[in-house]
């Protein structure tokens, strides 16, 4: 099943870290059945953040976004599973927490768009780009979860 190997980049932003939501967020992905293949706790450099948000460089909020993301540590992760990019985005909720459904991460934990605690790749292409930006290939762990056969046919 080729789709099982899809990967996405998820980052818990500084506000999520400061609010102590790391475990709650990881738990949701684990309970869904997705597999964590890489994780690091890092204070991202301004250069890394400018590369990460490069597509937004002409937007008026770009400088504040980079400053906010550089204001404290983040948890950068790579998750793997069937349709993980699309499903991960649903789990995160809308960019604006006010538009997010209860049960989504942003719907349950956030109020304002400028403090929406989490980033998730919006396409397989952006996931690959973001994963390569934040992680070296040798930092990605390949393994078969013992729950695999209970999650996939």
The ranges assigned to domains in the chain are: 7-143
Q: How confident is the model at residue 1 (pLDDT cuts 50, 70, 90)?
A: very low
Q: Does the annotation list 57 as a binding residue?
A: no
Structural fold of domain 7-143: Alpha-Beta Plaits (3.30.70)
Establish whether 8 is an annotated binding residue.
no
The mean pLDDT of the chain is 95
| Per-residue model confidence (pLDDT) at position 2 | 46
Residue 115 is assigned to a ligand binding site: no
Q: Quick check: 153 pLDDT over 90?
A: no
pLDDT digits (tens, 9 = 90+) for 43-94: 999 999 999 999 999 999 999 999 999 999 999 999 999 999 999 999 999 9
Please give the positions annotated as active site: 119
DSSP the chain: -GGGG-EEEEEE-HHHHHTT-HHHHHHHHHHHT-EEEEEEEE---HHHHHHHTGGGTTSTTHHHHHHHHTSS-EEEEEEESTTHHHHHHHHH--SSGGGSPBTBHHHHH-S-GGG--EEE-SSHHHHHHHHHHH--GGGS-----TTHHHH--
Provide the pLDDT for residue 5: 78
Query: How confident is residue 4, by pLDDT bands cut at 50, 70 and 90?
Result: low
């Amino acid at each position: 099943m080729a789709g099982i190997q899809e990967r996405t980049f998820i980052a818990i932003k500084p506000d999520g870290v400061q609010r102590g939501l790391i475990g709650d967020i990881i738990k949701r992905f684990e309970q869904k059945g997705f597999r964590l293949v890489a994780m690091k706790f890092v204070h991202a450099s301004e250069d890394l953040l400018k590369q990460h948000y490069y597509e937004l460089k002409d937007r008026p909020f770009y400088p504040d976004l980079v400053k906010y993301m550089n204001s404290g540590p983040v948890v950068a992760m790579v998750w793997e599973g069937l349709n993980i990019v699309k499903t991960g985005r649903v789990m995160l909720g809308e960019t604006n927490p006010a538009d997010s459904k209860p049960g989504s991460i942003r719907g349950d934990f956030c109020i304002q768009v400028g403090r929406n605690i989490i980033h998730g790749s919006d396409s397989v292409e952006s996931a690959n780009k973001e994963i390569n930006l934040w992680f070296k290939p040798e930092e990605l762990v390949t393994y078969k979860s013992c729950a695999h056969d209970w999650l996939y046919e």
